[in-house]
Structures are given as structure tokens and as C-alpha cells.
Amino acid sequence: MRSFHLHPGAEPPAAFSEAEVAALLASGELTPQHPCRLDEEDVWRTVGDFFPAGSGLKVRTKKAPATAVEQISESNRIDEKTRKRLLTYGLADAVNIDGFTQTQAVTAIATGRLDRPSLHPDRLLPRPADGRHLARRDG
């Protein structure tokens, strides 16, 4: 792997790996016009000479900070252990499990039932002895 020196001057500049220079270029800390030379050369050129725009060089960068919506969504997410319990005990299914808060999930596990009739009405209504569902009557 090639090594590069940046910033010509009186002091010997530090050597950077090819990946480090590419990352600095991708992050905007370096421009293609920035002076640069190979470790084994004495001739200064520009970063753009070694890393032309659109070269296809892939650089790993840090993940972008979460948006406000993503932060709220993550803070409302049920932890994995509680999530597994809800699914295992049949208190939720894969379609609606993300609709619960952590508090609702823990309460449902502790009481063995859900307090959200709109999601599972058959789990909250008593069943007659013959096993038929009771119909809700609105009105």
C-alpha cells in the first residue's frame, strides 16, 4: 500500500496511508488541490493527481447522526428480551409488536393480557363455554 505525505514545509510531514488520504478527501478535510507526495518521491503534486474525482475508491465513513424521528423511534423500541417474551407468550405478533411501548409490553407480560383491544379483541373478551367468540356491539 502506498504512503503519502501532506503539507510541505520545514518539518518532515507525517506519512498517511492511501485509505487515510482517501478518507480525508471524502470528508472534505482535503481538497484535490492540496499538496501531496508519495513517500518514496521528492516531487510534490496534488491529491487530485493520485485520487482523481470519480475514481470509484470506496471509503468507509462514520454513520450519519440519527434524525429526530429515528431517535424517537429507537427510544420507543421494545428491548429484545421483552420482544421475544411478547411473541413467545402470544401477546403480540410480528405485525403489531412495534406498536407497543416498553411499559405496555412489560405490563402485558406481567398480567398475561393486553390492554389494547383494538389490536387483539379476542384476547380480552370472555369466550362462552362452546368456544364461540362474542361479538362486540356498538351502539
Evaluate whether 11 touches 40 at the Cβ level (below 8 Å).
no
Q: Is the pLDDT of residue 139 over 50?
A: no
Q: What is the pTM assigned to this prediction? A: 0.37
pLDDT tens for 57-105 read 555 566 778 788 888 777 778 888 998 988 888 888 888 888 888 888 8
Q: Where are the domains of the chain?
A: 3-50, 68-124
Q: What is the pLDDT of residues 103-134, one digit of tens each?
A: 888 888 888 776 554 444 445 444 555 555 54
Cβ atoms of 79 and 102 within 8 Å: the answer is yes
